[in-house]
């Protein structure tokens, strides 16, 4: 067991936790959460650990990543302790603790720093892009101020830091999760069964579907296509599809400009899902349709808007390439699209985006340990 740290509660508030110290341990939140099980007692257990400052237990928790932030628990908490927000804050804390540079800590805690960092990164990426087109008029002007090699190498260093941070974060999390021996009543699964369960969850979001199913839930009568699980599914698979299409486009080059080419078809379908999912998510947060959407931090807004802009500018470029529109504006849109897309990839290790690889890893160990076996 780790040492107790009473100052940890105020630290967590910087990551977005509210008055969780008001919690009187009634267990309502755990009872109402559709994802808790006998051997996955959250959020109540994690709230106790947060109050005591048991950081090691929190960072070694698989249960932390089982939560889909549906907000059911916050709706029913008699003390307004915000257990749903608390879980999201813990995940921000965990992401910043696994990541080795300390950058995530700074940008999660300070909005001005986050904006400054994002703007600086945009400028650097813009410069870097011009190194890929050294004959461009703007590039030639740029190189009179900063030499080509300096800009190019800076870009490569930034990409390398991101790659190393992702690998480091995954390795750190794996070490912590494997050290945490959770006793279960079910039998353990082998690697393939656990992997199959993770892939199944990513493909179907079956666990997420079990959230928000009470009779009085806002989503109860709504069609599946607008429910939070499908919005999440659309954003996730839209982004993955676009990444794959971009890699294929890059490898195939010329044939990819034809609209019927498989990578273009994949890109179009994935882009539609991405724009659809992000539009709904932004709309829900603007209207604060349920408690889960009532508090949105700047980092979450920027993440959603970046994804949305990447999708919309992608369609703009698709139309202009298909119909051979040649206008200065298209070059500007291309620059914005490329910078935003690269920022998303670079912020992968340093933002909420990191949950895309931490959640599957935690789920893998959860299933492998036999937890979640019905
Ligand atoms: S967070 Fe609220 S619902 Fe959960 S145990 Fe504490 S007081 Fe009860
Ligand atoms: S936010 Fe939803 S999934 Fe997360 S602990 Fe609360 S009820 Fe469970």
As a 3-state breakdown, the chain gives helix, strand, coil percent values, each rounded to 5, of 70, 0, 30
Pocket test for ligand 1, best of 12, 36, 48, 77 (most atoms within 8 A of CB): 77
> Counting ligands in written order, which one lies closest to the CA of residue 41?
2
Q: What CA–CA distance (Å, rounded) separates 231 from 247?
A: 24
User: Angle CA(5)–CA(9)–CA(12) in degrees, nearest 5?
Assistant: 115
Is pLDDT above 80 for 92?
yes
d(CA 12, CA 10): 5
Spacing, Cα 77 to ligand 2 middle (Å)? 11
Residues of the chain with CATH 1.10.1060.10: 8-98
**Among the atoms of ligand 1, which is closest to the Cα of residue 22?**
7
Residue nearest to atom 4 of ligand 2 (CA): 67
Residue reference for tokens 């890059």: 250
Which tokens in the block code for residue 340? 């935003």
Q: What is the pLDDT, as a whole number, of residue 351?
A: 86
Q: Is the pLDDT of residue 47 over 80?
A: yes
pLDDT tens digits along 225-246:
999 999 999 999 999 999 898 8
- Which residue, judged by its Cα, is nearest atom 8 of ligand 1? 26
Closest CA to 351 of 309, 306, 311: 306
Taking the centre of ligand 2 as the mean of its atom positions, its distance from the CA of residue 290, in whole angstroms, is: 13
- Is the pLDDT at 255 greater than 70? The verdict is no
Among 71, 212, 293, say which to mutate for ligand 2: greatest number of ligand atoms within 8 Å of CB: 71
What residues line ligand 1, using a CB cutoff of 6 Å?
Answer: 23-29, 44, 47, 77-79, 81, 83
CA dihedral 160, 101, 353, 290 (to 10 degrees): -170
The gap from C-alpha 48 to its chain's centroid, in whole angstroms, comes to 26
d(CA 211, ligand 2 centre) in Å: 8
Which of the two residues, 320 and 65, has the higher pLDDT score? 65
Provide the pLDDT for residue 144: 74
Backbone region of residue 77 per phi and psi (left: phi > 0; alpha: psi in -120 to 50; beta: other values): beta
CATH of 8-98, one of 3.30.9.90, 1.10.1060.10, 1.10.357.10, 3.40.47.10: 1.10.1060.10
For the stretch 99-118, pLDDT in tens is 999 999 998 888 899 899 88
For the segment 185-228, what is each residue's pLDDT rounded down to a tens digit? 666 778 889 999 999 999 999 999 888 767 777 888 889 999 99
Is residue 96 within 8 A of residue 59, CB to CB? The reply is no
CA of 20, closest atom in ligand 1: 1
The least confident of 7-21, 133-147, 220-234 is: 133-147
Please provide the DSSP assignment of 335-370 as one string. HHHHHHHHHHHHGGGTSGGGHHHHHHHHHHHHHHTT
User: Which ligand does the CA of 25 lie closest to?
Assistant: 1
Q: Is 83 in the pocket of ligand 2 (CB under 6 A)?
A: yes
Q: 3 falls in which pLDDT band (50, 70, 90)?
A: low
Structural tokens at position 156: 């490569």
Question: Higher-confidence residue: 5 or 221?
Answer: 221
Ligand nearest to the CA of 85: 2
Written as six digits, the tokens of 101 are 């540079």
Question: What does the block give as tokens for 159?
Answer: 């990409």
256-282 pLDDT tens trace: 566 677 888 899 999 999 999 999 999
Q: pTM of this prediction?
A: 0.88
Q: What band does 128 get if pLDDT is binned at 50, 70 and 90?
A: confident
Q: Answer yes or no: is the C-beta of 362 below 6 A from any ligand 2 atom.
A: no
Q: How far, in Å, are 29, 80, 164, 165, 349 from residue 161 at the CA level?
A: 39, 40, 5, 6, 9
* Closest-lying ligand 1 atom to the alpha carbon of residue 27: 5
Give pLDDT, residue 373.
Answer: 58
Ligand nearest to the CA of 51: 1
Is 67's C-beta closer than 6 angstroms to any atom of ligand 2?
yes
Locate tokens 């813009």: which residue? Answer: 126
Q: Are 7 and 53 in contact, with CB atoms under 8 Å apart?
A: yes
pLDDT at 356 over 60: yes
Give the separation between CA 166 and CA 281, rounded to whole angstroms. 26
Residues 49 and 58 sit within 8 Å (Cβ to Cβ): yes
Ligand 2 touching residue 238 (CB < 6 A): no
Tell me if 321 sits within 8 A of 134, measured CB to CB: no
Report in angstroms the alpha-carbon separations of 137 from 133, 144, 263, 328.
9, 11, 31, 13
Nearest-5° Cα angle at 340, 335 to 346: 125
In 3D, which of 68, 69, 74 has the Cα closest to residue 29? 74
Amino acid 142: pLDDT: 67
- How much of the chain, in percent, has pLDDT values that exceed 70? 92
CA 282 to ligand 2 centroid distance, Å: 20
pLDDT tops 70 at residue 326: yes
Identify which of 152-161, 244-253, 268-277 has the greatest average pLDDT: 268-277
Higher pLDDT, 189 or 169: 169
Q: What is the mean pLDDT of the chain?
A: 86
pLDDT for 372 equals 67
Radius of gyration (C-alpha) of the chain in whole angstroms: 22
Residue 72 Cα to ligand 2 middle (Å): 6
**pLDDT at residue 294 above 60?**
yes
Give the pLDDT confidence score for residue 374 in this predicted structure: 52
In this predicted structure, the answer to whether residue 155 has a pLDDT above a threshold of 60 is yes
């Amino acid at each position: 067991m780790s040492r107790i740290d009473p100052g940890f509660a105020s630290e967590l508030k910087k990551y977005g936790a509210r008055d969780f110290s008001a919690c009187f341990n009634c267990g309502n939140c755990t009872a109402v959460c559709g994802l808790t099980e006998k051997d996955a007692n959250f959020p109540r257990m994690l709230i106790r650990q947060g109050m005591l400052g048991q950081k090691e237990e929190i960072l070694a928790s698989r249960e932390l990543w089982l939560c889909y932030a549906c907000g059911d628990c916050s709706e029913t908490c008699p003390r307004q302790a915000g257990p749903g927000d608390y879980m999201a804050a813990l995940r921000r804390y965990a992401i910043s603790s696994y990541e080795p540079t300390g950058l995530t800590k700074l940008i999660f805690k300070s909005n001005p720093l986050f904006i400054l960092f994002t703007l600086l990164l945009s400028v650097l990426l813009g410069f870097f892009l011009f190194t890929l087109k050294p004959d461009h008029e703007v590039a030639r002007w740029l190189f009179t101020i900063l030499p080509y090699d300096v800009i190019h190498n800076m870009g490569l260093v930034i990409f390398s830091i991101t790659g190393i941070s992702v690998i480091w974060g995954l390795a750190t999390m794996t070490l912590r999760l494997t050290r945490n021996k959770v006793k279960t009543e079910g039998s353990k699964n082998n690697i393939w069964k656990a992997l199959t369960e993770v892939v199944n969850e990513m493909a179907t979001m079956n666990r997420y579907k079990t959230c928000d199913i009470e009779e009085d839930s806002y989503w109860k009568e709504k069609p599946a296509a607008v429910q939070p699980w499908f919005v999440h599914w659309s954003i996730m698979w839209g982004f993955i599809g676009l990444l794959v299409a971009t890699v294929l486009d890059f490898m195939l080059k010329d044939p990819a400009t034809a609209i019927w080419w498989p990578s273009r078809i994949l890109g179009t379908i994935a882009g539609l899902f991405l724009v659809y999912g992000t539009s709904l998510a932004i709309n829900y947060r603007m209207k604060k349709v349920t408690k889960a959407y009532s508090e949105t931090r700047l980092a979450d807004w920027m993440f959603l808007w970046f994804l949305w802009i990447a999708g919309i500018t992608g369609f703009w470029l698709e139309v202009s390439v298909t119909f051979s529109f040649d206008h200065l504006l298209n070059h500007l849109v291309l620059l914005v699209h490329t910078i935003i897309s690269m920022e998303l990839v670079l912020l992968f290790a340093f933002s909420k985006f990191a949950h895309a690889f931490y959640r599957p890893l935690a789920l893998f160990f959860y299933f492998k340990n036999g937890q979640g076996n019905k």
